Structure 1
């Protein structure tokens, strides 16, 4: 008997990491909502990349990368230049043709989810990579 998986759900050993990532994204979204952010999208995929959370508060739209790691330095280091380019590509796709953005400030944030700590929201965690 073949077991069917959701298309986004990896099989085998990666399943635990997948679930950890989903839990971290849920905690990050909760933190952002408590801070007054409105979640516009989660797990947005386009342009060869993925954005964990897209959120808006007032005139600011944040493209948020969520990282769950054992330590803060590990979490920050895991947002590599390649990952930044992929996030920026997805952000450009999300913004394309949207007239509701107006003069919104766009930025790239991070939420670090570490064991036994509250998630840490870092505004402007990295600059927009060049096209």
Structure 2
């Protein structure tokens, strides 16, 4: 039987305590990155569907309602849709933008800092251009 070294007791707890903040930060960054990618992917899909809708229904189509329905899981107050037709190039462009706030941000609470500092909002923009028939 091996005799335990008394000086090494608690070493695993110390290593765990040193690595825990690093691992927690990595997990937080992975979750935030996945959420940001999901948001941008939803915006790209909404801009494509909006452009298809204009092609099918014409310029009078209610693209904003369709975009809002496609990205129903996002905050509609931070979402904006812009439809532009270019008669010279005979194209339609649908641009969807969203103000994305990082995890830990304290929106609407004055000048207080969130988890990552003051400047915590990113604007994601997805744009789709399609030729008109």
Task: Check whether TM > 0.5.
Answer: no
TM-score by length of 2: 0.28
TM-score by length of 1: 0.28
Structure (1/2) with the larger strand percentage: 1
Structure (1/2) with the larger helix percentage: 2
Q: Pick the structure with greater CA Rg.
A: 2
